Structure 1
Amino acid sequence: LLQRRLSRKQKRSKNYEKQRLKVARLHHQIDNTRKDFHYKQAHALCDAGDMVFMEDLDYRIMAKGLFKKHTLDAAFGQFRTIVKYVCWKRGKFFAQVDARGTSQECPECGGEVKKDLSVRIHDCPRCGYKTDRDVAAGQNIRNRGIKLISTVGQTGKETACADVLPGAVKNQSRQVSKSRKGKTRKTKP
């Protein structure tokens, strides 16, 4: 409605500028509301556990699909960045796992169960495990993340939070900087 009114104003007139500011204010308010929601969800995820795993999706490809405007409006990339930051700030582990085949794999036995998008139930013929397709995909993401932790811990790679995982020497840069507060460096005479 505001943009429709803006289009009816004569460009560069005072009424046009007033209406343009109203539209800009509304967009800024929507952006702040979205960012606030993302931060609240990120903190809720960090409260739920010590590790957060997300699919490593390319959101640019999703933005070209059927729901492109809705995908862009949800700002998934911003949410991933905020979750990564909140995990780092609160000392939680964050990792991205490969997104391919999460809903086609059985989380219990690891067998491949091919299904179309219309099939909403995961039913494994190998082990008999039955659950919702999205729940199975979430369990696969968790399993891949845990597998990533055990692999990374043995090789000593760093996480997205710049902390070395279990099995390697821990990066203590945050603890060292906290312990140095209030201390001054000695200078050589």
Structure 2
Amino acid sequence: MSQIIKNIKPIWEEKTTPIVDFLYKINVSPNILTVVGLVFVFVGSFFIIKGMFLVAGIFILVGNLCDALDGYLARKYNQQTLMGAFLDSVIDRYSDIIPILSLMYYFKNDDLFFISSSLALIGSYMTSYTRARSESLGVECKVGIMERPERSFVLILSLLTGFLIYGVGIIAFFSNITVIQRVICFYKSGK
């Protein structure tokens, strides 16, 4: 977890406690919330393909809010399961990839955008992979300047503002820097 997210998390949980309490009272499970978040991301990605970036940004924002609430709901009400953790990780990968693929489709005739978004896809995937692989080998590598929350924030902000090439370029550059940071972290572990 990045330092930015570590600092924001307690404030986020304090402000969203009424929402989480309400979700629990109406029997919304963390896993359902995870899947609902993915549905919002898919709908947002459809709007990307249609060139409706502001609407897409709103839907993807709601999807990411669901993703941010599911873990808090699980922790607060002791509903954490291995299946939930696994499902959350799998759906996170879809939520990372589908919007960028949608942007690639929309800008399919723009070579610079294609290259930039391809690098963003690679960096997003490899950021997750390097952490998972290092942890499977017994080394915790939670370092990095651009983890999933930061990538999501940049993507949503770029959709809402229309600065898509800049947002995707930032994701491409900094997610791949994060991969390098994790490789170095593993190397320094001496394994």
Q: Scaled by the length of structure 2, what TM-score is found?
A: 0.24
- Report the structure number with the largest CA radius of gyration: 1
Q: Which has the higher strand share?
A: 1
Q: Which has the higher helix share?
A: 2
Q: Which has the higher contact order (CA 8 A, sep 6+)?
A: 2
